[in-house]
């Protein structure tokens, strides 16, 4: 029990954007990070936000939403699935025009897995 409390506290205090599945940028520097079992809102400086959106780990799927390419476990129809063994699946809908580019940008070792899932499913 004590460990779970410590893990949750660490996520909130020491948030690493690369651990999140996706994030959405709001007004006045407010950024909402979505991860395996959390959604955290943080106020970031313009420089911090600019650094994040220029990071190649993240791909813009809409005006204010960026997905972490390294956390995508599957693409199904026009949805990205982020899978976690303990917390299950989290999804986000992506415009179809972005799907092909996302497939190309996925890390190579995951690309083959996702293509194979589409052939089987």
| Residue 77: DSSP 8-state | T
CATH 2.40.50.1020 correct for 2-120: yes
Q: 24: closest CA among 63, 81, 82?
A: 63
The residues, any chain, with a CB within 8 Å of residue 26's CB and separated by 6 or more, are 32, 41, 64
Does the model's pTM come out above 0.85? Answer: no
Q: Encoding tokens for residue 15?
A: 């948030």
Query: How confident is the model over 10-48, as pLDDT tens digits?
Result: 677 789 999 999 999 999 999 999 999 899 999 999 999
Q: What average pLDDT does the structure give for the chain?
A: 84
Q: Which residue is associated with the tokens 């995508």?
A: 72
Q: Please determine, for residue 109, whether its predicted confidence score (pLDDT) is greater than 50.
A: no
So what's the pLDDT on residue 18? 94
């Amino acid at each position: 029990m004590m460990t779970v409390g410590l893990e949750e506290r660490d996520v909130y205090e020491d948030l690493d954007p690369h651990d999140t599945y996706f994030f959405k940028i709001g007004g006045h520097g407010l950024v909402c990070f979505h991860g395996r079992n959390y959604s955290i809102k943080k106020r970031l400086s313009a420089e911090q936000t600019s650094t994040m959106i220029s990071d190649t780990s993240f791909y813009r799927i809409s005006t204010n939403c960026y997905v972490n390419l390294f956390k995508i476990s599957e693409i199904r129809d026009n949805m990205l699935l982020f899978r976690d063994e303990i917390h299950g699946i989290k999804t986000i809908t992506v415009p179809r025009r972005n799907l092909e580019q996302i497939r190309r940008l996925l890390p190579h070792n995951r690309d083959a897995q996702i293509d194979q899932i589409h052939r089987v499913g």
